[in-house]
Amino acid sequence: MRSRSRGRPGFGRGRRPRRRRAVLLALTLSAAGAACADSGTDPTPERYSLRVLDGDDQTGLVGSPLPRPLRVQVSELATGQPVPGAVVRWSHAGGSGAQLAEAAPATDAGGVAAVTLTLGLAEGEYRVAARVDGASRSAAFRAVAAAAPSLDPVGGPVSAGQELVLSGSGFLPDPLAHRVTFSGVRGAVLSVRPDGLTVQVPACLTTRTVSVVVRVEGRASNSIPVDVSAAGDPIELAPGEDLLISDTDLLDCRRLRLGPGEAYLIAVQNVGTGTAGTVDYVLLGLGPSGEPTVGSFAEHARRRPAAIAADRAAADRAVSDSAAWPGRASPHDLARRLEATGVVTPAQLRRSHGIGRGSGPVRAATGSAITGPPAVGDTAVFRVLTAGGTLEDVVGRLRLLTGRAEVYVDVDSPAPGFSDTDLGVIGSEFDAVVAPTVERAFGSISDLDANGRVALLFTPAVNRLSVRGSGTFAGGFFYAGDLLPQAGAQRGERLYVAVPDPAGAHSDAVDAGFLMAALPAVIAHEFQHLAHYNQRVLSAGADRTEALWLQEAMAQLAEDLVADALDAAGETERAALFRAGNLDRAQRFLAMASDVSLTATSGVGTLAERGAGWLFARYLYAHLGGDALVARITRSTRLGSETVVSATGEPWPRTYSDWSASLYLDDLVPDLPLRFGYPALDLRAALNGVNDGYLLQPETVGPETFVRSGDVRAASSDYFVLAPDGAGEIAITLGIEDGGAVAAGSPVQARLVRFR
């Protein structure tokens, strides 16, 4: 029912207003903030109600948009249901020079319409009215425009950490609308009044004169000098000690005492694991002199050189190993992509084997048609994955039968191909070192044909998956689809490997000697994928394959573990062949480490990303459990970083942060804590660049005031070295431009480690 308006003639039910008073009359309504109107004509039939939803009673800076849009809701008067598609008319009702910008011409599905109000250049009150046909009452909004802030001089010195009253004008009622910086270091705003505000001086400031600026809704005040005296003792780090600057919402700033000859690593780390976007940061070091300026922030923002962007673009085009060291190229990556996108699903595989989750390694079903092992010279039909994701029939002839392998060669392979001696070396090494080493750490493979062997098919079908002249070469792959029934061929455990093609009939020319050096590591890598799939999907019952970055990290670790076994047996030259691919990819990563995410792969993963994965896996293996750890990772049904957390029992931010720091600190100086290095690997000795220098070279900053800014992707870091040339102090803080805080819950942190 529509209520009467007391004391207002012309608004009662059944009464008509006098036409000679055809003027707008407004009433302030109840808590809904609406008003009724009289146009001097018959009132509109009442169908809707209109109420203020949000945006009333705001204060903003002159000439600036209000912080929140003005929002109203239109509802059916009888039912209270929202009315979509209603046209709301917005108009100025007070104040000049303001501008209205509608988000949409009509209400949305929830009956809501919104408009943005940009205040005029005059201080004072502004009013806006909203109306809709079918409702006699309008909705009214009020806003106040204030001038940019201004600060009065401060008399006398202050101590770091104490409260400071700043007098002036242009302040808003909301303390959160203000940002106060002391030479770029943010102070906490405690309270606001019309002629001033109270702020806490940052406790980390050194003894010096700072420039105090207040920003209100993006507008900066004048700068005033304030003399600050340091309070309390600064942080002193011994060699190997570290500290963390993480929660910038709590104004986390540290005052550090520096001594001559000391040096500190500062790693700005994004410990998140997302796949999209980057997080901006500003790293500020405020020394005893020097003033960070707005120009300093702009100058250093997006500081990555163009060469890194070019390197990344080139790496994105190379889906696997370079021609300098062949390995898993397009077939391997295609197989991983098909498995990850559901072309081959874990559920399919379990159904095809008639098993449930947690049933143990897959074995041949009772009543198998297998009659016994094949004989050398026998042929078999294989269905081999093509670049288009289809399968082609290939006939392979059995050339070698070992305890763990059936070695087939495609009958259409180019002559002369591998000799029996070549295949004997590969088969012998597979039996003696590759298979036992991988299964010891990662678990057993499945055994669908109950013969305890894996079929190795050497075929030019793999060579054909390489793109001529691309600088990449297809070494081999494992495809989980082989564990499903396929028309015209028995399912089974198979690995596909390239063949010598010296004349380049199927791809860029490649000879037997080259492949004999490269393929053993490829076979170890793909055999690990076979074991991983069995343990994770067929045995543990995971509903999806592991995250690509962690799959690849574990497979590359398998190459490394085989190399370790060969080293232990005195086969150092053979061990070097298994390590070469990983070392090459790791060099690529270290050359552009700040622009590479460990977890957010580009497509199927670039060479540099694969290098990061191997270094991370090697670090986990050395520090957090060895074979037992990788077994837990392999059998986990979680995904990516969650797998690592469940297997290690350590928080992901700590694990990532320690590893990130170790990339620079490993073997840099003696006696650093073990977590900052690789116990069995000297990165500096193994991964020097072309100029015989370590490829990860942080920029040197300090000890005077410095500002560095940039953006960090998930699971990546920017590196700096703070190297004072004498005794002193410095305040270090992390935030965003103009002293702002990074978003609440941001994964960005700064890790400081004294290494000298």
CATH of the domain at 34: 2.60.40.10
Residue 250's pLDDT is 59
Tell me which of 629 and 337 has the higher pLDDT.
Answer: 629
pLDDT of residue 319: 33
Whether 340 and 411 share a structural domain: yes
**For position 33, what pLDDT does the model report?**
35
Lowest-confidence range among 282-286, 468-472, 671-675? 468-472
- Residue entry with tokens 């047996």: 569
Give the position of tokens 């008003």. Answer: 35
Q: Are residue 527 and residue 585 in the same domain, yes or no?
A: yes
Amino acid letter, residue 317: R
Instruction: Give the mean model confidence (pLDDT) for residues 599-626.
Output: 88
pLDDT digits (tens, 9 = 90+) for 682-738: 999 888 765 568 889 999 997 889 999 888 889 999 999 999 888 899 999 988 877
Are residues 499 and 429 both part of a single domain? Answer: yes
Give pLDDT, residue 348. 47
CA atoms within 13 A on the CB side of 259: 10
Quick one: pLDDT at residue 347?
A: 52
Pair 291, 280 in one domain: yes
Q: What is the pLDDT confidence band of residue 295, given thresholds at 50, 70 and 90?
A: very low
The residues, any chain, with a CB within 8 Å of residue 563's CB and separated by 6 or more, are 575, 576, 578, 579
pLDDT at 709: 87
Question: Is 191 found in the same domain as 210?
Answer: yes
- Last residue within a domain, chosen from 177, 210, 229: 229
Residue 387's pLDDT is what?
Answer: 75
581 and 666 in a single domain? The answer is no
Same domain as 470, residue 402 = yes
Region 390-419 average pLDDT: 94
Q: Does 3 map to a domain?
A: no
Nearest C-alpha neighbor of 376 from the set 405, 409, 398, 406: 398
Model confidence at 372, pLDDT cuts 50, 70, 90, reads low
Question: Any idea which of 11-25, 40-54, 151-165, 396-410 has the lowest mean pLDDT?
Answer: 11-25
- Region 649-672: mean pLDDT is 95
The verdict on residue 12 lying in a domain is no
Dihedral (Cα; 335, 340, 342, 346), 10-degree rounding: 90
Amino acid 485: pLDDT: 63
- Determine contact, residues 732/237, Cβ cutoff 8 Å: no
Q: Residue 416, preceding bond cis, omega within 30 degrees? A: yes
Tokens of 482: 């082989």
Which helix (H) or strand (E) element contains residue 400? Answer: strand 391-401
Cβ partners under 8 Å of residue 181, min gap 6: 187, 212, 213, 215, 738, 739
- Over 50: is that where the pLDDT of 23 sits? no
User: What pLDDT, on the 0 to 100 scale, is given for residue 30?
Assistant: 29
Cα–Cα dist 122/38, whole Å? 30
SS in 3 state form for 350-362? Answer: HHHHCCCCCCCCC
In-domain check, residue 118: yes
Kind plus residue range of the DSSP H or E element containing 624: none
Q: What is the pLDDT of residue 691?
A: 55
Backbone angles phi, psi at 638, to 5 degrees: -85, -170
Minimum mean pLDDT range among 149-153, 239-243, 743-747: 743-747
CA distance 318 to 232: 55
Average pLDDT estimate for 216-226: 87
Give the type of residue at 607.
L
Q: Which residues pair with 28 in a beta bridge?
A: none
How many structural domains are present in the chain? 4
Question: CA 348, CA 548: separation in Å to the nearest integer?
Answer: 20
Residue range 242-263: mean pLDDT, rounded: 84
User: Residues 344, 348, 349, 351: what is their CA dihedral angle, to the nearest 10 degrees?
Assistant: 180
Instruction: Indicate if 399 and 484 belong to the same structural domain.
Output: yes
Same domain, 596 and 725: no
Give the contacts of 311 (CB within 8 A, at least 6 positions apart): 591, 592, 608
Query: Is a pLDDT exceeding 70 seen at residue 383?
Result: yes
Asked whether the predicted pLDDT for residue 10 surpasses 50, the reply is no
Give SS3 for 584: helix
* Angle 257-260-263 from CA coordinates, rounded to 5°: 75
pLDDT band for 9, please (50, 70, 90 cuts). Answer: very low
Mean pLDDT of 43-51: 80
Q: If you average pLDDT over each of 270-284, 346-360, 430-444, 575-589, which comes out highest?
A: 430-444
Confidence check: pLDDT of 34 > 80: no
Residue 373 lies in a domain: yes
Coil, strand or helix at 383: strand
**pTM of the shown model:** 0.77
How far, in Å, CA of 83 to CA of 133, rounded?
12
Q: How confident is the model at residue 88 (pLDDT cuts 50, 70, 90)?
A: very high
Distance in Å from the first CA to the final CA of the chain: 81
The shares of helix, strand and coil residues in the chain, as percent rounded to the nearest 5, are 30, 30, 45
Q: Are residues 518 and 646 in the same domain?
A: yes
Percent of the chain with pLDDT over 70: 79
| Average pLDDT value for residue range 9-14 | 34
CA 645-647-649 angle, to 5 degrees, is 55
- Locate 362 and state its tokens: 């897959």
- If phi > 0 it is left, if psi is from -120 to 50 it is alpha, else beta; for residue 379 that is beta
The answer to whether 8 touches 37, Cβ cutoff 8 Å, is no
Instruction: Inform me whether the pLDDT recorded for 24 exceeds 80.
Output: no
Residue 267: name the closest of 655, 699, 739, 735 by CA: 699
pLDDT of residue 101: 93
Question: What is the Cα–Cα distance from 585 to 560, expressed in whole angstroms?
Answer: 13
Domain contains 1 = no
Evaluate whether 594 touches 698 at the Cβ level (below 8 Å): no
Residue 54 has pLDDT above 50, yes or no: yes
422-472: pLDDT as tens digits: 999 999 999 999 999 999 999 999 998 788 899 999 999 998 888 787 666
- Which domain range does residue 32 map to? 19-146
Residue 689 to residue 466: CA distance in whole angstroms? 28
Tell whether 7 is covered by a domain.
no
- Res 49: pLDDT: 93
Q: Are 418 and 512 in contact (CB under 8 A)?
A: yes
Residue 465 counted as domain residue: yes
* Helix locations, 219-345, DSSP H: 294-300, 306-317, 330-340
Tell me the CATH number at 501. 1.10.390.10
The answer on pLDDT for 21 being more than 80 is no
The answer to whether residues 326 and 510 touch, using CB atoms and an 8 Å cutoff, is: yes
* Domain final residue pick, 603, 627, 650: 650
Which of 131, 146, 161 is where one domain is finished? 146
**DSSP structure string for 437-479:** HHHHHH-PPPBTTSSS-EEEEE-HHHHTTSPTTSSB-B-EE--
49 and 114 housed in the same domain: yes
CA 305 to chain centre: 21
Instruction: Categorize the per-residue pLDDT at 117 as very low, low, confident or very high, splitting at 50, 70 and 90.
Output: very high
Query: Running DSSP on this structure, what letter comes out for residue 430?
Result: I
pLDDT band, residue 205 (cuts 50/70/90): very high
Co-location of 212 and 253 in the same domain: no
Give strand pairing partners of 712: 279
SS3 for 647?
helix
| Predicted pLDDT of residue 44 | 52
Placement of tokens 């009315």 in the chain: 83
* Residue 623 scores a pLDDT above 60: yes
Q: What pLDDT shows up at residue 482?
A: 82
For the chain, the average pLDDT equals 82
- The confidence score (pLDDT) of residue 437 equals 97
Mean pLDDT of 115-119: 95
pLDDT at 549: 92
pLDDT in tens, 552-608: 999 999 999 999 999 999 999 999 999 999 999 999 899 899 989 999 765 567 888
81 band by pLDDT with thresholds 50, 70 and 90: very high
Q: Is residue 574 part of a domain?
A: yes
Closest CA to 325 of 159, 510, 464: 510
User: Which H/E stretch holds residue 643?
Assistant: helix 641-648
Beta strands in 77-231 (DSSP E): 88-94, 99-102, 112-118, 124-132, 137-146, 150-151, 158-159, 163-169, 178-182, 185-193, 196-200, 208-216, 219-220, 224-229
Inter-CA distances, 108 with 70, 138, 259, Å: 14, 19, 63
Peptide bond into 326 cis (omega under 30): no
H or E, element range at 47? none
Burial class (CB in 10 A: 0-12, 13-18, 19+), 666: buried
Phi-psi region of 223 (alpha: psi -120 to 50; beta: other; left: phi over 0): beta
Scanning the structure block, which residue is given the tokens 């940019």? Answer: 148
